Chains A and B, each alone.
Chain A
Amino acid sequence: MKSEISALSVRGFHVHYGHDKIIDGVDLLDIQSGKLTVITGSNGAGKSTLLRAMSGLTRAKGTVEWNGCDLLMIGAHARSKLIGFMPQSITASKGLTVLESVIIASQTLTSAISTVKHEELALSTLERVGILNLAMKKLSSLSGGQRQLASLAQSLVRKPKILLLDEPTSALDLRYQMEVMALLKSVTLSGCIVILVLHDLILASNWADHLFFLHGGHIVGAGHPKEVLTSSLLEQIYGVKTSIARTAEGTEHLVIHKLPIDITPKEGKNGNGQI
């Protein structure tokens, strides 16, 4: 499928919560469609905040330029038509079914198409995400991973130009992780800019075409995962040793080494030496 490449640049981004600087002068330049872009980093690095701020849900200083316009300067409703944001926390509505939630997500985008068309779009999206069999299930009856897939369908049905996903695979099993990453790759190849926050460095290194490493509100590495996820950076950030292993097929994989296990009793919080 041939599609027009679009690009997005985040410049001079600052997010403050009170006196705390969460994002401090971040630039994410030339993020293109067709390439999976991943933001990773340690806990509390500001990844989710950065993604929320890019989607306009958190107040930020800076610009998000796309097609010559600053997306933070346009109205929230217009912005929501361009940007699809999938949050990390998913509230399960007690009374809505998966299909209802996806149809309503579609209906709020436009009233220009018929109800039947919205229903068809919703079904196609559920099929694409692989949860057609869950269509008539109540959201509250789903597992965490199934809810993530339903949430992904709610975002995808609106056919956004930019898709921002906060940990979309955190509750998924291995198979679904692979399938969702493949789906997101196909979405970006069809012309949508896809940026996702991932904690899982193996998944990030295997799937990302472009990776930003965030630490303490700053970008400490940007580029291809091979260039960014270096042993020295990972040891410096996480205090964990890593190496690159080459498979028989010649592909390189990130290997994370175990931490040495200290079995000597320590003074725990309760003072009895138990961990």
Chain B
Amino acid sequence: MDRRGNKKSMIKSVIPTPLSRQNIITEYHRTIKRKMAWIIGLFILLLVGILVDIMTGPAGLSLNEIWQGLTHFKDPNNNFGVIMWNIRLPTALFAVMIGASLSLAGAEMQTILFNPLASPFTLGVSSAAAFGAASAIVLGITIPFIPINVAVPVNAFIMAFGAVILIQAFAMILRESTALILFGIALVFGFNALVAIVQFIAPADSLQQLVFWTMGGLDRADLSSLATLAITLILIIPFSMKSAMALTLLSLGEERASSLGVHIQRLRFGCLLRTSILAAISVAFAGTIGFIGLVGPHIARLMVGEDHRFFLPAALLSGAIIMSFASILSKIIIIGVLLPIGIVTALIGLPCFMFFLTAGKFMR
């Protein structure tokens, strides 16, 4: 026993150790608190984002007007209430949920495929959804008895989910993450080519509609889409969090994780299923939105590291925040024009990404 009452080391460390057990545990608890603070900070930033998003638009709303709108939601003569409840709030929440879904999907994909480039976009899920939408918009191929107003998202979902099933099947055959990424890239090229063929033969009006869809947008925010997204997130988040520990171990390598009791195939299947549902539903409702699924997890990783108990919530919040601010920017970059959100996410995603990658070198 040494002076501090610690057990004597079996191995005498060659490097002098200035840290006592108490110092280390204090430092460890401090890092846990720092991670919690990041998550709380992100949550507050998200609330600010939602608030500013509601305030921003052709008819700018002040905080007082928002308050009036919130408290007089049953009054049809209250203009603020109508704008708030029918337009601004659904769009703001829609943006948040789309961002959260895509970022959570990207975070899990990056971990299970050991690839920082993995996201719904890079694995071909978004491209498949675009092809599904294209077949509905241009070719009129829809599921029988489906109302025409939901035909496009339903087609997009079916194709996106089909792509994921293909990826799953491939994953079960090859059991190798690099091959899976390559397969995803092949899907991107394949579906993009199919979309290009459809665009080539499309009449002018359908072509315009398709181009708008592929640019991504928040204009499809309505009660049914909000409810679908909310239910999906509420059902999926607990399963994601339940896998957090296993995903953390997976970041130590497949063999290491297996030896520590992680059932890799089961974990991979569960993750791909969750991410496919999240990605397919998001893309089906909001169109092709790149960068969020890629950037959100990277920002979260720089803030809280790879302990997935912190990383997954941070990734979810980061994605939601980026989408929320992208929604604000889409309304103010060109006054009076609502830019497609997909363009804005790509525009702000790149500098954001570069900033955090550079800042990450200096962040502890």
A residues with CB within 8 A of B: 52, 55, 57, 76-77, 80-81, 83-87, 89-91, 93-97, 99-101, 104-105, 107-109, 119, 123-124, 127-133, 135-136, 139, 151, 154-155, 158, 175-176, 179-180, 182-183, 186
Contact = CB atoms under 8 A, between A and B. Distances in A.
B261 A96 contact: no
A155 B249 CA distance: 12
Nearest to A150: B252
A135 to B, nearest CB: 5
B56 interface: no
Q: Which 5 A-B pairs have the closest CB atoms?
A: A130-B11, A95-B306, A95-B305, A91-B253, A80-B261
A97 B21 CA distance: 15
Count class of interface residues, chain B: 35 or more
For A55, A77, A94, the residue with the greatest tally of chain B CB atoms inside 10 Å of its CB is A94
B10 interface: yes
B256 A151 contact: yes
B359 interface: no
A249 to B, nearest CB: 23
Contact of B19 (A55, A97, A132): A132
A220 B147 CA distance: 73
Given A91-B114, A136-B31, 18 more contacts: A76-B261, A80-B258, A80-B260, A89-B255, A95-B301, A96-B307, A104-B245, A108-B260, A108-B261, A119-B28, A127-B7, A128-B7, A128-B9, A130-B12, A132-B19, A135-B19, A155-B259, A183-B10
Given A85-B259, A108-B260, A175-B14, A135 B251 contact: no
A132 B305 CA distance: 20
Contacts of B263: 76-77
B199 interface: no
Contact of B24 (A77, A87, A105, A123): A123
Interface of B: 6-7, 9-19, 21, 24-25, 27-28, 31, 114, 245-246, 248-249, 251-253, 255-256, 258-263, 301, 304-307, 311
20 contacts: A76-B258, A81-B261, A85-B255, A89-B253, A91-B114, A91-B251, A93-B306, A96-B305, A96-B307, A104-B245, A105-B260, A127-B21, A128-B7, A130-B10, A130-B12, A133-B13, A133-B16, A135-B28, A136-B24, A175-B14
A128 B28 contact: no
Contacts of B27: 136
Contacts of B261: 76-77, 80-81, 108-109
A155 B260 CA distance: 8
B192 to A, nearest CB: 31
Contacts of A179: 10-12
Contacts, number: 139
A101 B307 CA distance: 9
A60 to B, nearest CB: 14
Contacts of A93: 248, 251-252, 306
A123 to B, nearest CB: 5
B28 A57 contact: no
Contacts of A175: 14
Contacts of A80: 258-261
Nearest to A106: B260
A95 B259 contact: no
A221 to B, nearest CB: 28
B252 A94 contact: no
A131 B245 CA distance: 23
Given A77-B263, A105-B260, A132-B13, A95 B311 contact: yes
A142 B351 CA distance: 30
Contacts of A158: 260
Nearest to A109: B261
A133 B251 contact: no
Given A94-B301, A128-B9, A128-B11, A123 B21 contact: yes
A124 B25 CA distance: 12
Contacts of A86: 259
Contact of B256 (A81, A91, A119, A127): A91
A199 to B, nearest CB: 18
A259 to B, nearest CB: 33
Nearest to B255: A87
Nearest to A179: B11
A130 B13 contact: yes
Contacts of B246: 108
Nearest to A105: B260
B11 A129 contact: yes
B11 A180 contact: yes
